[in-house]
Each structure stands twice: as structure tokens, then as C-alpha cells.
Amino acid sequence: METSGIKLRHVIVACLISTTILGCASLSKTQIKSVQTFYKLTDSVTSSPVKIWSSLNDARVDRYILSVSTLSNNKLLIDEIDSIRVSWKKNNRIGDKLEQSFELMNAYSYALTLLASPEKWESSGRGIKSLGRNIDSLIIRYNSLGFKYELPSGYGKSISRALGYSAETYFKHRQIKLLRSFIVQGDTIFARLCDNLYETLNSDSFRLLISTEKKGVRDQFHNYANLKQNRGEYLSFLETKEFYRMSSQIEEAENLRISCCRRLKSLKSAHNRLSKEIQQRKRVDELLNDIYRLSDEISKFM
């Protein structure tokens, strides 16, 4: 009986090795964790550009409003407010670039977590299958904003095909191959996203925008204080506090810009490392240990 049991174990091992060689290896826990960690890292980095623009734009609008509030002519006051609105829409194109980059990066990294986790894929329902189409729509919108490096269109179709497989076993069988294909193709796209964001935030024009706002706030409050002094008035506590708030907003925008530029380089490098890690298969000794452990479990029931 013991001899036949050993033979049976050998047969099981041989079958499992054949299946492993012919099929696709499943994702290791380390690989899945790497994808999940990358998603969290992306979320923390890409939210910064939106905060930068929000802080900068709020300070700019407040400064303009402070400037026109000293006007005594109502018609001139209304005209100036209208020009502020037009100027805001024009400058908000930069905000659109930052926000679109943020949306696309997060849609991409979220797609990776779905491909790496069958449990999420199964529980998310049909809505997930539209994620690929959403990525392609975001890419089209992104390319219309005039970035230096355009992104290839039609990329999101691959995830739609991946999430379109209804058979759970077939999805698991193809999971690693699909994820590898998706992330290898995406490495170029993600690198361009990071490079475009970096160039936008680190450009001379963006730096000039921040320094101009910083000087503008100081000059505006100086003129405002002089105007009140000529009227025999002084800045109130709330007005002084407002000056501090606006100055702090611009300082925060500059600090976030510097931090984000540094982290974008790290994020680009992290995705490249993730791509290489996902492409690596388990070592032979790891595969054999898994196979022998599984064969022992099967033998107990035979």
C-alpha cells in the first residue's frame, strides 16, 4: 500500500508539473501586494497637483476681488469682476491638465488592482467592464489638452477584454498573462503621464505663475493698507488674517509643487519596477515546493 501511495504521489506531481508548465502561473502574494501598494502610492501622489492648483487659484481670485473692492464706481466694479471670471476660465486650462492627469493615473492604477484581484473583479459587477472604455475616453480628453507627449489611444480595450471573461476558472488561468500584457504596455503610457505632469509643474511658466502671485498678494495688500491709511483707517484683524491666509496658500502651493515633482520621479520608477516584478515567474524551487505541498493535500483524500 505504501509503494502504491508513493507511485500515486509521483503521478500527481507529474500531472501538476505538466499543468504548471502548460498554463500560466498565478500571481504570488508579493506581486498582488505590490500592485495594491502601487495603487495607494499613485493616489497619494496624484492628488497633489489638484491641491496645488486649487490653492494657487483661490489665492489669485481672492487677490483680484480685493483689488476691485476698493473701486467706488459700480459699473467699473462689475466690469472688473467679469474680467476676473474670464481670466479664471483661461487660467483654469492648467487646472484641467492637472485634474485630467490625476483621473487617468488613478483609473489606470485601479485597473491594475482589479486585474490582480479576482475577488474584486467578481464583486464589482458589470460596471467594471466599462473601465477600459473609460480609460480610452480619458486618454482622448487628455490628448486634447496639448501635453508634450501624447498617449496612444485604444489602450483601454485590453482591460475590457480581460474583465469580459465570464468564466471564473478561465479568468484565473489567464490572469497573470493579461496583467503582464496590460502593465508592460502601460509602462510607456504611465511614464509619459509622469513626464508630462513633471514638465507642467516644473516649467518656467508655472514657477513664474507662483512667484507672480506671491508678489501680487504682497503688493495688493500694501496698496490696500495705504489706501485705508490715507482715509485715516487701518487694517482690521480679519483683513490682516486674510493676508496671512492668502500668503500661506501660495507658499503651500510652492511646497506641494516641489514635493510632487520629486515624487513623480519616484512614481515613474516604481511603476517600472512593478512591471519587471510582474513579469517575473516563480523560481523553479518555489514552484516545486508549491506542487509537492498541493500533491500531499490531494493524496490525503485518495
- What are the domain boundaries of the chain? 1-25+282-302, 31-280
Indicate the pLDDT class of residue 23, thresholds 50, 70 and 90.
very low
Burial class for 22, CB neighbours closer than 10 Å (0-12, 13-18, 19+):
exposed
Q: Report the chain's mean pLDDT, rounded to a whole number.
A: 73
Indicate the pLDDT class of residue 285, thresholds 50, 70 and 90.
very low
Give residue-wise pLDDT tens across range 46-75: 677 778 888 888 888 888 777 777 767 777
Higher pLDDT, 217 or 166: 217
Report the pLDDT value the prediction gives residue 225, as an integer from 0 to 100.
87
Cα 63 to Cα 89: distance, rounded to the nearest angstrom: 16
Q: What secondary structure letter does DSSP report for 181?
A: H
Strand, helix or coil for residue 167: coil
Cα 69 to Cα 92: distance, rounded to the nearest angstrom: 23
Q: What secondary structure letter does DSSP report for 151?
A: P
The pTM for the full model equals 0.71
Indicate the pLDDT class of residue 160, thresholds 50, 70 and 90.
low
pLDDT surpasses 60 at 294: no
Give Cα 189 distance to the centre of its chain: 12
Report the pLDDT value the prediction gives residue 128, as an integer from 0 to 100.
53
Give Cα 292 distance to the centre of its chain: 41
Longest dimension (CA), the chain: 108
Give residue-wise pLDDT tens across range 128-150: 556 777 788 888 888 888 888 88
Higher pLDDT, 85 or 181: 181
Which grid cell sits at 10? 509521483
